[in-house]
Amino acid sequence: MNHRLLSILLLTAMACTFGVAHAEKADRAKPMNIEADALRHDELKQTSVFTGRVVMTKGSIVLRGARLDVRQDADGYQYGVVTAEAGKRAFFRQKRDTLPGAPDEFIEGESEVIEYDGKADNVRFITRAELRRYRGSVLNDEITGAVIVYNNLTDVFSVDGQRRPSTNAAGDAPATGGRVRAVLSPNDPPPTGPGAPASAAPASAPVLRPSNSLGGGAK
């Protein structure tokens, strides 16, 4: 079984377990609030660079890292690139919409670089990437790879386990292989017994769908 087929099978399995909720769609329209030790802003280019213990919040979204580059386009969409300190990883967290009465769910991710695209409403985790889903305080699912793209609008995620080429002292750049790794928990079974509804059909909540490309479903 080659790497591509294995990745597709893992993504298909994860779509079943991740698909009980979807990301907070209201976060896209919320203002971006940022704290940092220093700021350099260019009004003409509509760019800002925050450095030192950066914390960005946007609705339920939380981003943390050592540096944050933010720009805004002519239509008002915001874009951010969070970079971690050397040897560490930047952090992302977002609440997911859940069905009434269901426990709160959160998506968490870490990587050396995190890119947020406000127009496409997706998040790209680059280098030593990890994505986790929590139901309440319990870790339910976890995936790792070289690059993970999570789209908030379409609930499509894609994972690349291939590490990028690394250059050695001789100047060569050999491509090194990587693996997508996933730990998936089963969904809770439907209620049974005398108190259960006569026809216990699964809830028709939107599901996270795997993608074979790293476009993240952006339009």
pLDDT in tens, 75-129: 888 899 999 999 999 999 999 887 888 888 999 999 999 999 988 889 999 999 9
pTM for the model:
0.69
Instruction: Identify residue 44 by its one-letter amino acid code.
Output: L
Alpha-carbon dihedral angle through residues 177, 14, 96, 58, given to the nearest 10 degrees: 10
The radius of gyration computed from the CA coordinates of the chain, to the nearest angstrom, equals: 19
Q: What is the mean pLDDT of the chain?
A: 75
Contact criterion met (CB below 8 Å) for 29 and 23: no
Strands 209-210 and 61-72 turn out to be: unpaired
177-205 pLDDT tens trace: 567 777 766 766 555 555 555 444 444 44
Alpha-carbon dihedral angle through residues 114, 27, 69, 216, given to the nearest 10 degrees: 40
Place of tokens 């790209």: 124
Sign of CA dihedral 55, 56, 62, 63: negative
Report the Cα 161 to chain-centroid distance in Å: 15
CA atoms within 13 A on the CB side of 89: 14
* Residue 162 pLDDT greater than 50, yes or no: yes
Cα–Cα distance, 177 to 171 (Å, whole number): 19
* Residue 137 pLDDT greater than 70, yes or no: yes
